Every structure is written in structure tokens, then in C-alpha cells.
Amino acid sequence: MTKTLQGKVALVTGASKGIGAEIALQLAAQGAAVAVNYASSQAGADAVVAKIVAAGGKAVAVHGNLAEPQAAKAVVDATVQALGPIDVLVNNAGVYEMLPLDTITPEHFHRQFDLNVLGLLLVSQQAARQFAAGGGSIINISSGVSTIAPANSAVYTATKAAVDAITSVLSKELAPRKIRVNAVNPGMIVTEGVKAAGFDQGEMRQWIEQATPLGRVGTAEEIAAVVAFLASDGASYVTGETLHVTGGLR
């Protein structure tokens, strides 16, 4: 069976764990050489790289905290130096913190906007300059919250609504260069981060399972499969889309 990303180079941000790690693994399984970006967990990134290499793929770990503006260029440059021009960028790095209106602070706002929005823009800017001549694909990992808009999530939801808007804008801006730009908006996925926040148990999970037409939360594999499709030539006429992978919850 032909691998859909054979010979391609992919950069996945925030790929040391969770959804990002699974995306890196699935892109590599489809033949891409993958730069696994991490901010703090080198051990996690190295483990993802080791899995890819053990399966016969090619990968490198690339450090950079994308909440810091200068990191974007360093991460992209390191990717290109190690693997060559970029064909696929997956903007997965992000943070979330839920607070009611009464307790929102400038720090809470900037912590999320600096990474989820500004970091995404700056990495996209640098990567677009280094894309292969034939174009390629940018996939932004947004969130189902951008339309579900749950209570106590004003800042996080705002960052993801911004990602949806940016996706639409950049799809038009980069189309002449044959760079497609799409977003994937996951529903609740039980990852390390979700477990650490305690969201995998209790009221929040029960509410989501009850409100979701498919009646369950999702898996990282289900998100990564959609990303792999959008990265491939099978999606060659798809750009500017926000694809909700939420089990039908809107």
C-alpha cells in the first residue's frame, strides 16, 4: 500500500505527548520525516522519535517554547537543517486554563494567547518561508470549544475562535503559493493533560458524553487520522476548512 506522505517533511509543534505525539506517529507511518517539537519534555519527544525510528521512519526532536517569539525561527530552521524544506506544518502546541469571568487576569489571558495565537502565527510565518517549492499543507489544531463555547472558558475559547479565523484568512493568503490551510477542532480527547486537569472524570466528562451524538469522548488516534488526511494529496482541493472531530457535538 502506498504511503500518502512518502518523501514529505513534517513539523509538528507540541508533539512530545498527547494529540501531538499521536499526530507525529501517524504522519511518520504514512512516510513523512517528522520534526517533533517540544517545549519542556525532552524525554517525551525522544520517546516519540525512538518509536518512529524503531518502525523504520525518520524523525528528530526539536526544542523550542513557542510562547517565546524568537523560538519560532529557531524551531523551523532546525527542522529544515535536519530534514529539508517543509511540506507539512501541524500547529498543535497550546495551553488551556478554565476560569470564570470574575477571576480572569492579564496573565491568564497572555499565557494562552501568546502560545495559542501568536505562537501559531509566528511558526506559520517562518514555516511558510521555508516550504517546499510545490507548496504543502498547514493544519491548525483548534478546538470544539470555538463553537461549543462552554462556561468559564472565555479566554481559551477566544484563542481557538481566533485560530479558526486565522485558518480562513491564511487559506486565502497562501493559496497562490499552493499552501493549503485547514483546522481540526477536536472534542474531548482523554490525554495526559486532560487527566492532569481532572477533566477525564466527573461532571465535565459526563456532560460531554451526554451531549455528544456519538455518546463518547474521542481518542488521539481519531484526531491524528484526520490530520494525516488533510496533510495528504487526498485533500488537495480542501483549504480554509474547520473540521470538527467532536462526535457530532457543536
User: Which residues are annotated as catalytic?
Assistant: 156
Say how many Å lie between the first and final Cα of the chain, rounded: 35
d(CA 214, CA 45): 32
d(CA 219, CA 210): 17
d(CA 73, CA 58): 22
d(CA 166, CA 99): 24
In angstroms and rounded to an integer, the radius of gyration of the C-alpha atoms of the chain is 17
C-beta separation of 22 from 34 below 8 A: no
Q: Which three cell numbers stand for residue 52?
A: 518512529
What is the DSSP-derived secondary structure letter of residue 55? T
C-beta separation of 8 from 31 below 8 A: yes
Q: Which residues contact 98 (CB under 8 A, 6 or more apart)?
A: 152, 153, 156
C-beta separation of 30 from 232 below 8 A: yes
C-beta separation of 141 from 235 below 8 A: no
